[in-house]
Structure 1
Amino acid sequence: MRFLILTIAVAIGCCSCKEEKPSAAKMREILHERNEKLGAFFKEGDAEKLASMYTDSAKLCPNGTYEIFVGKQTIKNFWSRAMKDSQLLDMDTQTLTVDGNGEYIYETGRTKTKVKYQDSVFVTEVKFANVWKRQPDGTYLLDVDIWNAISK
Protein backbone atom coordinates (compact mmCIF):
# COMPACT_ATOMS: atom_id res chain seq x y z
CA MET A 1 0.00 0.00 0.00
CA ARG A 2 2.85 2.38 0.84
CA PHE A 3 4.35 1.66 -2.59
CA LEU A 4 1.06 2.58 -4.30
CA ILE A 5 0.79 5.86 -2.37
CA LEU A 6 4.42 6.71 -3.13
CA THR A 7 3.90 5.94 -6.84
CA ILE A 8 0.82 8.18 -6.98
CA ALA A 9 2.65 11.00 -5.16
CA VAL A 10 5.59 10.79 -7.59
CA ALA A 11 3.23 10.77 -10.59
CA ILE A 12 1.36 13.82 -9.32
CA GLY A 13 4.63 15.58 -8.59
CA CYS A 14 5.94 14.90 -12.10
CA CYS A 15 2.73 16.08 -13.73
CA SER A 16 2.68 19.30 -11.73
CA CYS A 17 6.25 20.08 -12.85
CA LYS A 18 5.30 19.93 -16.52
CA GLU A 19 5.37 23.38 -18.08
CA GLU A 20 2.13 24.60 -19.59
CA LYS A 21 1.87 25.72 -23.20
CA PRO A 22 2.09 29.52 -23.33
CA SER A 23 -0.93 31.35 -24.73
CA ALA A 24 -0.82 32.67 -28.29
CA ALA A 25 -0.73 36.20 -26.85
CA LYS A 26 2.29 35.31 -24.67
CA MET A 27 4.09 33.70 -27.62
CA ARG A 28 3.43 36.81 -29.75
CA GLU A 29 4.81 38.99 -26.93
CA ILE A 30 7.96 36.85 -26.75
CA LEU A 31 8.43 36.95 -30.52
CA HIS A 32 7.87 40.70 -30.68
CA GLU A 33 10.69 41.21 -28.17
CA ARG A 34 12.97 38.74 -29.97
CA ASN A 35 12.31 40.29 -33.40
CA GLU A 36 12.89 43.81 -32.06
CA LYS A 37 16.25 42.65 -30.72
CA LEU A 38 17.14 41.02 -34.05
CA GLY A 39 16.25 44.23 -35.90
CA ALA A 40 18.45 46.29 -33.58
CA PHE A 41 21.41 43.95 -34.09
CA PHE A 42 20.93 44.07 -37.87
CA LYS A 43 20.88 47.87 -37.80
CA GLU A 44 24.07 47.87 -35.73
CA GLY A 45 25.63 45.54 -38.31
CA ASP A 46 26.89 43.35 -35.47
CA ALA A 47 27.25 39.72 -36.58
CA GLU A 48 28.45 38.65 -33.12
CA LYS A 49 25.26 39.93 -31.48
CA LEU A 50 23.16 38.40 -34.28
CA ALA A 51 24.81 35.03 -33.72
CA SER A 52 23.92 35.27 -30.02
CA MET A 53 20.25 35.05 -31.07
CA TYR A 54 20.78 31.49 -32.39
CA THR A 55 21.13 28.16 -30.59
CA ASP A 56 24.52 26.44 -30.77
CA SER A 57 23.12 23.94 -33.30
CA ALA A 58 20.90 26.37 -35.25
CA LYS A 59 20.19 25.96 -38.95
CA LEU A 60 20.12 29.00 -41.26
CA CYS A 61 18.51 28.46 -44.69
CA PRO A 62 18.82 31.72 -46.64
CA ASN A 63 17.09 32.57 -49.89
CA GLY A 64 18.96 31.89 -53.12
CA THR A 65 21.38 29.24 -51.91
CA TYR A 66 21.42 25.47 -51.60
CA GLU A 67 23.65 25.66 -48.55
CA ILE A 68 22.34 25.26 -45.02
CA PHE A 69 24.52 27.01 -42.45
CA VAL A 70 24.70 25.00 -39.23
CA GLY A 71 26.00 26.25 -35.90
CA LYS A 72 26.45 29.62 -34.28
CA GLN A 73 29.96 30.31 -35.65
CA THR A 74 29.00 29.41 -39.23
CA ILE A 75 25.92 31.64 -38.94
CA LYS A 76 28.05 34.47 -37.56
CA ASN A 77 30.39 34.12 -40.56
CA PHE A 78 27.40 34.19 -42.95
CA TRP A 79 26.07 37.42 -41.44
CA SER A 80 29.53 39.00 -41.34
CA ARG A 81 29.91 38.45 -45.09
CA ALA A 82 26.33 39.51 -45.83
CA MET A 83 26.68 42.80 -43.93
CA LYS A 84 30.21 43.62 -45.07
CA ASP A 85 29.26 46.08 -47.82
CA SER A 86 25.71 46.94 -46.82
CA GLN A 87 23.83 48.79 -44.11
CA LEU A 88 20.31 48.04 -42.90
CA LEU A 89 18.32 51.26 -42.79
CA ASP A 90 14.91 49.90 -41.81
CA MET A 91 13.36 46.55 -40.95
CA ASP A 92 9.67 45.78 -40.41
CA THR A 93 8.85 42.24 -39.30
CA GLN A 94 5.24 41.12 -39.31
CA THR A 95 4.44 37.86 -37.50
CA LEU A 96 1.51 36.15 -39.23
CA THR A 97 1.14 32.84 -37.38
CA VAL A 98 2.34 31.55 -34.05
CA ASP A 99 2.12 28.10 -32.49
CA GLY A 100 4.16 26.18 -29.98
CA ASN A 101 4.32 23.96 -26.96
CA GLY A 102 6.50 25.80 -24.45
CA GLU A 103 9.75 24.22 -25.58
CA TYR A 104 9.41 25.53 -29.16
CA ILE A 105 7.61 28.45 -30.76
CA TYR A 106 6.83 28.22 -34.47
CA GLU A 107 6.52 31.51 -36.33
CA THR A 108 5.70 32.48 -39.89
CA GLY A 109 5.62 35.99 -41.27
CA ARG A 110 6.96 38.62 -43.60
CA THR A 111 9.82 41.07 -43.30
CA LYS A 112 10.37 44.21 -45.34
CA THR A 113 13.85 45.75 -45.31
CA LYS A 114 15.47 48.85 -46.69
CA VAL A 115 19.19 48.29 -47.27
CA LYS A 116 21.89 50.65 -48.45
CA TYR A 117 24.40 48.93 -50.70
CA GLN A 118 27.18 51.15 -52.06
CA ASP A 119 25.32 54.24 -53.33
CA SER A 120 21.90 52.63 -53.81
CA VAL A 121 19.00 51.79 -51.52
CA PHE A 122 17.09 48.54 -52.05
CA VAL A 123 13.75 47.50 -50.59
CA THR A 124 13.19 43.76 -50.24
CA GLU A 125 10.40 41.62 -48.87
CA VAL A 126 10.69 38.05 -47.68
CA LYS A 127 8.42 35.44 -46.17
CA PHE A 128 9.91 33.38 -43.37
CA ALA A 129 9.42 30.42 -41.07
CA ASN A 130 11.30 30.38 -37.77
CA VAL A 131 11.57 27.85 -34.98
CA TRP A 132 12.50 29.36 -31.62
CA LYS A 133 13.81 27.01 -28.91
CA ARG A 134 13.41 27.69 -25.19
CA GLN A 135 16.71 27.85 -23.32
CA PRO A 136 17.33 26.80 -19.69
CA ASP A 137 17.18 30.47 -18.63
CA GLY A 138 13.68 30.80 -20.17
CA THR A 139 14.69 32.87 -23.21
CA TYR A 140 14.05 31.73 -26.77
CA LEU A 141 16.73 31.48 -29.45
CA LEU A 142 16.42 30.76 -33.15
CA ASP A 143 16.91 27.07 -33.90
CA VAL A 144 15.72 27.16 -37.54
CA ASP A 145 15.71 30.33 -39.65
CA ILE A 146 14.52 30.09 -43.26
CA TRP A 147 13.31 32.73 -45.70
CA ASN A 148 12.44 33.25 -49.36
CA ALA A 149 12.09 36.43 -51.37
CA ILE A 150 8.58 37.52 -52.29
CA SER A 151 8.28 37.99 -56.05
CA LYS A 152 6.41 41.02 -57.29
Structure 2
Amino acid sequence: MKKNRINTVINCLLVSVLLITSCKSPSPPVLTDSDKQYIKDLTTNAQDGWNRGEREPYVNRFSTDAIYMPPNMETVVGKDAIRTFANSFPDLKLYYDVIEIMGSADYAYVRGAFTVTNPADSLLDKGKFLSVWKKFPDGKWLLTHDIFSSDIPIPVRQEDTDQNK
Protein backbone atom coordinates (compact mmCIF):
# COMPACT_ATOMS: atom_id res chain seq x y z
CA MET A 1 0.00 0.00 0.00
CA LYS A 2 2.82 2.35 0.87
CA LYS A 3 4.46 1.50 -2.45
CA ASN A 4 1.24 2.43 -4.32
CA ARG A 5 1.15 5.83 -2.60
CA ILE A 6 4.76 6.51 -3.54
CA ASN A 7 4.05 5.51 -7.15
CA THR A 8 0.97 7.72 -7.18
CA VAL A 9 2.92 10.71 -5.84
CA ILE A 10 5.73 10.12 -8.35
CA ASN A 11 3.24 9.82 -11.21
CA CYS A 12 1.49 13.02 -10.11
CA LEU A 13 4.82 14.84 -9.99
CA LEU A 14 5.79 13.55 -13.43
CA VAL A 15 2.46 14.62 -14.92
CA SER A 16 2.81 18.05 -13.28
CA VAL A 17 6.33 18.48 -14.65
CA LEU A 18 5.18 17.41 -18.11
CA LEU A 19 2.25 19.82 -18.03
CA ILE A 20 4.41 22.72 -16.85
CA THR A 21 7.19 22.11 -19.37
CA SER A 22 4.81 21.53 -22.27
CA CYS A 23 2.93 24.80 -21.70
CA LYS A 24 4.37 27.50 -23.88
CA SER A 25 3.89 31.14 -23.28
CA PRO A 26 1.73 32.59 -26.01
CA SER A 27 3.59 33.93 -29.01
CA PRO A 28 3.52 37.71 -29.25
CA PRO A 29 1.14 39.03 -31.89
CA VAL A 30 2.93 39.52 -35.17
CA LEU A 31 2.85 42.09 -37.92
CA THR A 32 0.84 40.37 -40.65
CA ASP A 33 1.35 40.52 -44.40
CA SER A 34 -2.02 42.30 -44.51
CA ASP A 35 -0.72 44.97 -42.11
CA LYS A 36 2.41 45.41 -44.24
CA GLN A 37 0.31 45.77 -47.38
CA TYR A 38 -1.93 48.33 -45.65
CA ILE A 39 1.15 50.47 -44.85
CA LYS A 40 2.55 50.07 -48.39
CA ASP A 41 -0.81 51.06 -49.86
CA LEU A 42 -1.02 54.19 -47.68
CA THR A 43 2.52 55.11 -48.74
CA THR A 44 1.69 54.66 -52.43
CA ASN A 45 -1.55 56.61 -51.99
CA ALA A 46 0.38 59.47 -50.33
CA GLN A 47 2.92 59.48 -53.16
CA ASP A 48 0.27 59.44 -55.88
CA GLY A 49 -1.81 62.14 -54.16
CA TRP A 50 1.24 64.36 -53.71
CA ASN A 51 2.15 63.95 -57.38
CA ARG A 52 -1.40 65.05 -58.35
CA GLY A 53 -0.97 68.15 -56.18
CA GLU A 54 -3.12 66.79 -53.32
CA ARG A 55 -1.46 67.00 -49.89
CA GLU A 56 -4.23 65.41 -47.78
CA PRO A 57 -3.40 61.76 -48.65
CA TYR A 58 0.16 62.54 -47.52
CA VAL A 59 -0.95 64.28 -44.31
CA ASN A 60 -3.74 61.84 -43.39
CA ARG A 61 -1.19 59.08 -42.72
CA PHE A 62 -0.07 60.91 -39.57
CA SER A 63 -1.48 60.66 -36.05
CA THR A 64 -2.71 63.90 -34.48
CA ASP A 65 0.42 64.13 -32.28
CA ALA A 66 2.95 62.86 -34.85
CA ILE A 67 6.61 63.84 -34.72
CA TYR A 68 8.01 64.80 -38.15
CA MET A 69 11.77 65.31 -38.49
CA PRO A 70 12.79 66.76 -41.86
CA PRO A 71 16.45 67.51 -42.57
CA ASN A 72 18.03 70.90 -41.88
CA MET A 73 15.15 72.29 -39.84
CA GLU A 74 13.33 72.07 -36.54
CA THR A 75 11.08 69.14 -35.70
CA VAL A 76 7.45 69.59 -36.77
CA VAL A 77 4.96 68.37 -34.15
CA GLY A 78 1.33 67.49 -34.80
CA LYS A 79 -0.76 66.69 -37.83
CA ASP A 80 -1.88 70.30 -38.36
CA ALA A 81 1.72 71.55 -38.37
CA ILE A 82 2.68 68.74 -40.78
CA ARG A 83 -0.19 69.84 -43.06
CA THR A 84 1.13 73.43 -43.02
CA PHE A 85 4.63 72.14 -43.80
CA ALA A 86 3.40 69.94 -46.67
CA ASN A 87 1.28 72.74 -48.15
CA SER A 88 4.29 75.08 -48.19
CA PHE A 89 6.03 73.04 -50.90
CA PRO A 90 5.95 74.07 -54.54
CA ASP A 91 4.87 71.69 -57.28
CA LEU A 92 7.27 68.74 -57.18
CA LYS A 93 7.16 64.97 -57.59
CA LEU A 94 7.77 62.54 -54.75
CA TYR A 95 8.63 58.85 -55.14
CA TYR A 96 8.91 56.28 -52.35
CA ASP A 97 10.61 52.90 -52.29
CA VAL A 98 9.62 50.89 -49.21
CA ILE A 99 12.59 48.62 -48.55
CA GLU A 100 11.66 46.95 -45.28
CA ILE A 101 8.76 46.71 -42.84
CA MET A 102 9.29 45.08 -39.44
CA GLY A 103 7.36 45.14 -36.20
CA SER A 104 4.60 43.62 -34.14
CA ALA A 105 0.82 43.69 -34.16
CA ASP A 106 0.86 47.19 -32.61
CA TYR A 107 3.93 48.94 -34.10
CA ALA A 108 5.67 48.83 -37.44
CA TYR A 109 9.03 50.23 -38.46
CA VAL A 110 9.39 51.18 -42.11
CA ARG A 111 12.71 51.84 -43.83
CA GLY A 112 12.89 53.15 -47.34
CA ALA A 113 14.24 55.57 -49.88
CA PHE A 114 12.76 58.62 -51.57
CA THR A 115 13.38 60.71 -54.65
CA VAL A 116 12.14 64.24 -55.28
CA THR A 117 12.05 65.75 -58.77
CA ASN A 118 10.69 68.92 -60.30
CA PRO A 119 7.76 68.62 -62.74
CA ALA A 120 10.28 68.13 -65.60
CA ASP A 121 11.72 65.12 -63.72
CA SER A 122 15.07 66.75 -62.89
CA LEU A 123 16.44 65.38 -59.62
CA LEU A 124 16.06 67.77 -56.68
CA ASP A 125 16.81 65.38 -53.81
CA LYS A 126 17.12 61.74 -52.90
CA GLY A 127 17.61 60.07 -49.59
CA LYS A 128 16.27 57.67 -47.00
CA PHE A 129 13.56 57.57 -44.37
CA LEU A 130 12.70 55.67 -41.23
CA SER A 131 9.20 55.83 -39.82
CA VAL A 132 7.25 54.40 -36.90
CA TRP A 133 3.65 53.39 -37.45
CA LYS A 134 1.11 52.54 -34.74
CA LYS A 135 -2.02 50.46 -35.12
CA PHE A 136 -4.92 52.22 -33.43
CA PRO A 137 -7.97 50.52 -31.87
CA ASP A 138 -10.05 51.21 -35.01
CA GLY A 139 -7.59 49.04 -37.00
CA LYS A 140 -5.96 51.94 -38.85
CA TRP A 141 -2.20 52.30 -39.03
CA LEU A 142 -0.89 55.86 -38.64
CA LEU A 143 2.56 57.41 -38.65
CA THR A 144 3.66 58.56 -35.20
CA HIS A 145 7.31 59.38 -36.00
CA ASP A 146 8.91 60.12 -39.36
CA ILE A 147 12.49 61.11 -40.10
CA PHE A 148 14.20 61.50 -43.43
CA SER A 149 17.57 62.71 -44.65
CA SER A 150 19.17 63.58 -47.94
CA ASP A 151 21.91 61.59 -49.66
CA ILE A 152 23.00 64.79 -51.42
CA PRO A 153 25.69 66.69 -49.51
CA ILE A 154 24.92 70.21 -48.32
CA PRO A 155 26.70 72.63 -50.64
CA VAL A 156 29.61 74.43 -49.01
CA ARG A 157 30.70 77.85 -50.27
CA GLN A 158 34.37 78.17 -51.17
CA GLU A 159 34.85 81.11 -48.79
CA ASP A 160 33.60 78.94 -45.90
CA THR A 161 36.29 76.36 -46.58
CA ASP A 162 38.94 79.08 -47.04
CA GLN A 163 38.18 80.48 -43.57
CA ASN A 164 38.88 77.11 -41.97
CA LYS A 165 42.45 77.02 -43.29
- Normalising by structure 2, report the TM-score: 0.67
CA contact 2:47–2:58 (8 Å) conserved in 1? no
Number of paired residues? 129
Residue by residue, what CA displacement relative to the aligned partner does 1:63-121 show, whole Å, maximum 9, x if unpaired? 121x1111111000000112xx3232x52x222222111111101111123223xx883
Consecutive unaligned residues in structure 2, runs of 5 or more = 1-24, 154-165
Q: Which residue of the other structure, out of 60, 77, 81, is the alignment partner of 2:84? A: 77
User: What CA distance in whole angstroms lies between the structure 1 residues aligned with 2:51 and 2:82?
Assistant: 17
CA deviation string 1:24-76 (max 9, x = no partner)? x44432222121111122112223332211100001100121x1111111000
- Give 1:111's aligned residue: 114
Q: Give 2:138's aligned residue.
A: 137
Counterpart of 2:66? 58
Q: 2:123 is matched by which residue type in structure 1?
A: F
- Structure with bigger strand share is 1
Q: Which has the greater radius of gyration?
A: 2
Provide the C-alpha distance between the structure 1 equivalents of 2:121 and 2:151, rounded to a whole number of angstroms.
20
Q: Distance in 2 between matches of 1:77 and 1:48?
A: 11
The question of 1:48 aligning with 2:49 is answered: no
| Range moving further from structure 2, 54-63 or 34-43 | 34-43
2:31 paired residue number: 22
Percent of paired sites with the same residue? 20
Residues 1:48 and 1:28: Cα distance change in structure 2 (over 3 Å): closer
Task: Answer yes or no: is the 8 Å Cα contact 1:27–1:98 preserved in 2.
Answer: no
* Aligned residues of 2:63 and 2:143 also touching (Cα < 8 A): yes
Structure 1 residue ranges (4+ consecutive) displaced by more than 4 angstroms after TM superposition: none
Q: Report the Cα distance in structure 1 between the residues aligned to 2:28 and 2:77, rounded to whole angstroms.
A: 29
Aligned to 2:7: none
For 1:147, what is the secondary structure of its paired residue? strand
Structure 1, unpaired ranges of 5+: 1-14
Instruction: Give the Cα separation in 2 of the matches to 1:69 and 1:31.
Output: 22
